[in-house]
Amino acid sequence: MALTIKRVLVTGGAGFLGSHLCARLLDEGHDVLCVDNYFTGSKANIEPLLKRPHFEAMRHDVTFPLYVEVDEIFNLACPASPIHYQFDPVQTTKTSVVGAINMLGLAKRVKAKIFQASTSEVYGDPTISPQAEDYRGNVNPLGPRACYDEGKRAAETLFFDYHRQHGVRIKVARIFNTYGPRMHPNDGRVVSNFIVQALRGQPITLYGDGSQTRAFCFVDDLVEGFVRLMATDEDCTGPMNLGNPHEISVAELARRVIDLTGSNSEIVYRPLPQDDPLQRCPDISFAKSKLGWEPQVRLEVGLSRTIEYFRELLTSK
């Protein structure tokens, strides 16, 4: 059956995840409108796409209404690393909440299907592991991470209320730790931090004792999950966990990065930041059963590809 070409809007399309998603949608033959205010996104991320005839980039902040004609919307707009979303916490909350209202309003007007990039941070510092979609979380609503955590929780509320009240077709994915090329080198995330520090021969910073665990999903696997979830029938709204269910301690991750980079960096320890979760691991049973999806890229392979990206980036700078 011939592919139906769709007009697809990707907010946050010049960011780490958004740029990979834009490229994937173009490869599938769709018309893609990338919208970004470039707070954390980068024109360099989408530069290779600008020459493609079915790609268009627009500078726009989703906290203001947007009037375009599209068939599908992927709402990825929001700073996603603590160093960025804590820089202007009020704006972070507005991006999640007002941005969701504006994009849902657009979807309602043009009858578009809309995807929300939610986050595992809606689970806060979990008291159970792994986290399944029916776990309601353990979030501090007053802490320094609340602008992101609660903003995303409110966005999910809005998505389901628009679905129930107005019949908007929604898909909600809860994204767990993801890594890969085009991560921001100064985003404060553990993978990019470790790789950049190792390549520069600087001490690798571990917060706490390094025993806290994370589960890392390569960006190509995550984008595959996005596309599959968006293509499901209308009964499958989510929320759906998308991430890697195999945990690793951050101390072990640091050792692997040192080995793969051939670095002489030493490990130094710093106090654990407030509300930093000790465990973060998804239960992906729902994604497996509904999408036939699970991560395929092994950690060593994904880390090697990410290290090569940062090696070239640091060399060019």
CB count, 10 Å around CB of 167? 11
Q: Give me the helices (H) in the chain, please.
A: 16-27, 43-46, 82-85, 89-110, 146-166, 190-200, 219-230, 250-261, 285-291, 299-316
Pairing outcome for strands 113-119 and 170-175: parallel
Options 67, 85, 123, 148, the catalytic residue: 148
Cβ-defined contacts of 156-161 (< 8 Å, 24+): 156/116, 156/118, 156/122, 156/239, 158/97, 158/100, 158/101, 158/104, 159/100, 159/104, 159/114, 159/116, 160/237
Active site residue 123: no
- DSSP summary character for residue 279: -
Q: Cite the active site residues.
A: 148
